[in-house]
A = this chain, B = another copy of it.
Amino acid sequence: MNIVILGGGAAGATAAQFARKEDRKAEITVFEASEYPQYSRCGLPYALSGAIPEFESLIEFSAEWFKRNKIDLRLSTEVLKVEPDTNTISFRGIDGDGKLQYDSLIFATGARPSIPGIKGIAEGDAKKKGVFVFRGMDDAKSLKEWCGEKERKVLIVGAGLVGIEVAEALHIMGHEVAIVEFLDSILPGMIDPDTAAPLLDKMSSLGISARTRALVEEIFGDGSVAGAVVKDRDTGPEERIECDTVILATGQKPSTSLAKDAGCALGRHGHIRVDERCESSVPGIYAVGDCAEYLDFVTGAESPSGMGTTAVKMGEVAGINAAGGSFALPRGFLNSRVSRLFGLEISAVGPISSSLTEAGIAQVQARVKGSTLPVYYPGGKDIMVKLTASKEDGKILACQIVGEEGAGLRVNLAAAMILAGFTARELALFETTYAPPVAPTVDVLATAAEAIMIKLRRSGKSG
């Protein structure tokens, strides 16, 4: 059994790990275009800020790990072609070109930063000096080196998770940070605008400006960034912002050209479409992580993976199946997500409100504020829950939580409720652990569920 994996990131390395667990004797080869064995991309902002002292400590599956597990890791090696007719790949490495036969192949080719067409962004073929993207180890290292001991004035384009995490890192490092976001709110794909409000307040109190519904029209400066022209999408006026650094955090494009050429069908968002076994439309070829597209559990719509969490799950499933085992994802991704930003833990599961509306799903929502501890016990922290249930049948569809702590672990519970098809009524009666120094008798999630039941009852539905 020959298993070939294209890409040695979180998804690819996990696939290799589980393929090895499934078949102790298979030949497993991982091709990785960069010089790095698998490292945590999610950890990069924290290595940038210094919270993690060394970039190298982000390496989780080291070259030694691959060796120990008898997995052939080919670094700095580019795969040029995948030919499913002959089950052959062609590659180009440091030692020249080569070909390899495979029985199963896994695309874990990831994605590359999406570069918006902004005037002045490039000088010739290269990015203008002072313009950065933030996806891989080298991007983060270059940015850290550029910042050096200087006090930079940074404009971040895009207020998604990467944009805000990098903003926090740079703020901690002492740089001046401004953010421009094209959409209505910060973290637009992750949480609803009302859930984002406390974070926006916190950032504003720290002197970090975030312009929403705005776009960068031009990056100016001779040879190096000197500033940007930002336009308000509604009112129209242009504003000149002085800055010496621009970070493009405007999303990513899946790396799919090899897969396309190999005949793999792409999904609605242009990623490699896979089934619950993580298999593409070409039998024996799997796809995992940022290059792949599966389904959203709640809406059933095609949905890119895009997160470390889902990448790892896909890696596990594809690795086992590619090695001849049998493992399947649930019927869609819950997309559980969390970050800790400027002292707030922000977490969510299920589609954001506008995606549910888009999918034609009638919602009932409750927003409640509670505490992590009983009122009588000192030290409880405020925690805000926005819970969404189906107006039709009361089933939990989504949950967003913000607090100083405990948001992510509470979202895990909401995620299990969604996966199980439980209703607000079942959540209201759910036995959460209680002890005065740990948690209140009625968790804020149950309070939110009760609020939803009342709303459902008023609208003539049972929760």
A residues adjacent to B (C-beta < 8 A): 10, 40, 42-43, 46, 51-52, 57-58, 60, 307-310, 312-313, 316-317, 327, 329-330, 333-340, 345, 347, 349, 374-378, 406, 408-413, 415-417, 419-420, 422, 425-426, 428-439, 441-443
Determine if A436 and B46 form an interchain contact, defined as CB atoms under 8 angstroms apart.
yes
Determine if B416 and A309 form an interchain contact, defined as CB atoms under 8 angstroms apart.
no
User: CA of A284 to CA of B349 in the docked complex: distance in angstroms?
Assistant: 42
Question: Contact partner of A412 among B313, B374, B433, B441, CB < 8 A?
Answer: B433
Determine if B376 and A408 form an interchain contact, defined as CB atoms under 8 angstroms apart.
no
User: CA of A435 to CA of B308 in the docked complex: distance in angstroms?
Assistant: 9
Inter-chain contacts of A347 with B (CB < 8 A): 433, 438
Inter-chain pairs besides A60-B375, A308-B434, A416-B420, 15 sampled, C-beta below 8 Å: A42-B434, A46-B377, A52-B376, A57-B376, A60-B374, A60-B376, A309-B432, A329-B429, A409-B409, A413-B413, A413-B416, A416-B416, A416-B417, A416-B430, A420-B422
**Per DSSP, are chain A's interface residues mostly helix, strand or loop, or mixed?**
mixed
Given contacts A406-B409, A409-B413, A433-B408, contact A308 B441 (CB under 8 A): yes
Determine if B376 and A435 form an interchain contact, defined as CB atoms under 8 angstroms apart.
no
Given contacts A60-B375, A377-B43, A420-B420, contact A337 B433 (CB under 8 A): yes
Determine if A439 and B46 form an interchain contact, defined as CB atoms under 8 angstroms apart.
no
Inter-chain contacts of A422 with B (CB < 8 A): 416, 419-420
Inter-chain contacts of A410 with B (CB < 8 A): 409, 412
| Minimum CB distance partner of A453 in chain B | B327
Inter-chain contacts of A309 with B (CB < 8 A): 431-434, 441
Per CB-CB distance, the 6 closest pairs between chain A and chain B, nearest first, are A420-B420, A416-B416, A409-B409, A338-B433, A408-B433, A340-B437
Inter-chain contacts of A432 with B (CB < 8 A): 309, 336, 412, 415
Indicate how many identical chains form the complex: 2
Can you report 28 residue pairs joining A to B where beta carbons are below 8 Å apart? A10-B441, A40-B376, A42-B436, A43-B376, A52-B377, A52-B436, A60-B376, A309-B434, A312-B442, A316-B428, A327-B425, A335-B431, A336-B432, A338-B433, A339-B435, A347-B433, A349-B433, A408-B433, A409-B413, A409-B433, A412-B412, A412-B430, A412-B433, A415-B430, A415-B431, A415-B432, A416-B416, A419-B430
| Minimum CB distance partner of A454 in chain B | B21
Inter-chain contacts of A51 with B (CB < 8 A): 377-378, 437
User: CA of A307 to CA of B431 in the docked complex: distance in angstroms?
Assistant: 11
Determine if B438 and A408 form an interchain contact, defined as CB atoms under 8 angstroms apart.
yes
Q: How far is the CB of A24 from chain B (nearest CB, A)?
A: 13
Question: Contact partner of A431 among B60, B310, B375, B376, CB < 8 A?
Answer: B310
